[in-house]
Amino acid sequence: MKILLINPPARGGQSRDGRCQTEGSAWITSFPPTTFAGIAGAIRRSCPDYQLKVMDCIGCDMDKDEAFEKAISFSADLLILNTSTPTIISDLEFAQEIKESSSCKILAYGAYVDAKYGELIDKEQIDYAILSEPETPIINVISGKERSKGVAFKGWDGGKWMEKELDDLPFPAYDLLPPYYYPLSGERWMFVRTGRGCPYKCIYCTEPMNFPTPRYHSVKYLMKQFHWLVDELGIRTIMFWDEVATYDKGHMIELCKALISEGLSEKIKWFCTTRVDHFDDELAGYMKQAGCRMVTFGFESGDQKVLDMNKKGITIEQSKDAVKAAKNHGLMTIGHFIIGLLGDTPQTARKTSKFARDLRINFAQFYIATPFPGLEFFKIVSANGWLDEKAKVIRAPL
């Protein structure tokens, strides 16, 4: 069997990895696709006799014509398609062109697939939809076990799948990705997941829809992976691409101690994303000693009522305390803010802008609230008639 795993082209670049479904920017176009690499690693280990071709068109800056030509010339039996909500139209168009020019089966995964798989499997472009965590369901389809959990197709709905033991998975095939470079320094970097899942219910985020249970790789597993990245692939800049990297404080401290004792704290620079209510002075101290240079927080809003309405589950004071803890130990900070959340007004947006300045963080990123299908935010926006489906814009009262 010949298997083609493809991260298809997108105008201006695109991150399709997990919660970050964002069009290209200085940051986004340099985001290595971890789920994509994880699928490649799973196929490589479980199907060694099959021919696997990996095409990361975003990382290679490959246009649609070149991608189509290479995909057709490979003559795959099964094509695995990475998708996202912002690119789903072009993703399906690409799948349709492949269908019209070959006899391969097409399997699709991604946040939009999770939310709208019932509609997608009725279309002729997609043969299989993979729901939630994709590694095991994809291996089941390849092995002829289509009627399994995490797989949907016409006549079958296996429901969502969540990996129970993360250490059973092989390392993501980072070596099959093109080089990605950290936008602030130009150094080659990689995203690594130390764990998966987020138990919080923020109404605008795709993660609770798919990965509600936090789970972590063992420190032993992670240290082997880090040594491979550093010693064999030559990667020295790493981002922990977890939903909440410090949710399990004990696990993060154990990992930091291992990085220090095995000498990797002197070889790598790393940073992570987390929540302000799961970060404190003690953690900041261990992380700094272990080679951490920066922490990114989702502050979202400077107005407490907006935070509460969108079920963020944090307070303004917790945000201030988290930044203070990071600064106490010389860690840089990135803050993420969202304009247009439920309850936002011109006044609260200005309050958020002032809050971002008052925090005195190193970098601030502002996003426009987006009602992704399947989310509570989407349902509220739709129910109030704020979403113009034809024009694809939100017309919320401000």
2-157 shares its CATH topology with 181-394: no
CA–CA distance, 345 with 24 (Å, rounded to integer): 27
pLDDT digits (tens, 9 = 90+) for 272-303: 999 999 999 999 999 999 999 999 999 999 99
Q: Class of the 181-394 domain?
A: alpha beta
Least confident of 107-121, 147-161, 206-220: 206-220
Q: Provide the residue count of the chain.
A: 398
The enclosing H or E element of 170 equals none
Q: Two tokens at 184? A: 């602030």
Mean pLDDT of the 151-167 span: 95
CA distances from 326 to 118, 138, 284, 295, 322 (A): 44, 40, 6, 8, 6
pLDDT digits (tens, 9 = 90+) for 218-264: 999 999 999 999 999 999 999 999 999 999 999 999 999 999 999 99
Q: How confident is the model at residue 206 (pLDDT cuts 50, 70, 90)?
A: confident
Count of C-beta atoms within a 10 Å radius of residue 132: 20
Give pTM, 2 decimals.
0.94
User: What local confidence, expressed as pLDDT, does residue 26 receive?
Assistant: 52
3-state helix, strand, coil in the chain (%, to 5): 40, 20, 40
User: What local confidence, expressed as pLDDT, does residue 25 receive?
Assistant: 58
**DSSP per-residue codes, 291-358:** TEEEEEEEEE-S-HHHHHHTT----HHHHHHHHHHHHHTT-EEEEEEEES-TT--HHHHHHHHHHHHH
CA–CA distance, 196 with 187 (Å, rounded to integer): 26
How is the chain split into domains, by residue range? 2-157, 181-394
Mean per-residue pLDDT over the chain, rounded: 93
CA–CA distance, 280 with 323 (Å, rounded to integer): 9
Q: Class of the 2-157 domain?
A: alpha beta
User: What local confidence, expressed as pLDDT, does residue 92 receive?
Assistant: 95
pLDDT digits (tens, 9 = 90+) for 331-352: 999 999 999 999 999 999 999 9
Mean pLDDT of the 120-130 span: 93
Q: Which residues contact 110 (CB under 8 A, 6 or more apart)?
A: 16, 82, 83, 84, 85, 88
pLDDT at 372 over 70: yes
Give the three-class secondary structure for 60. Answer: coil
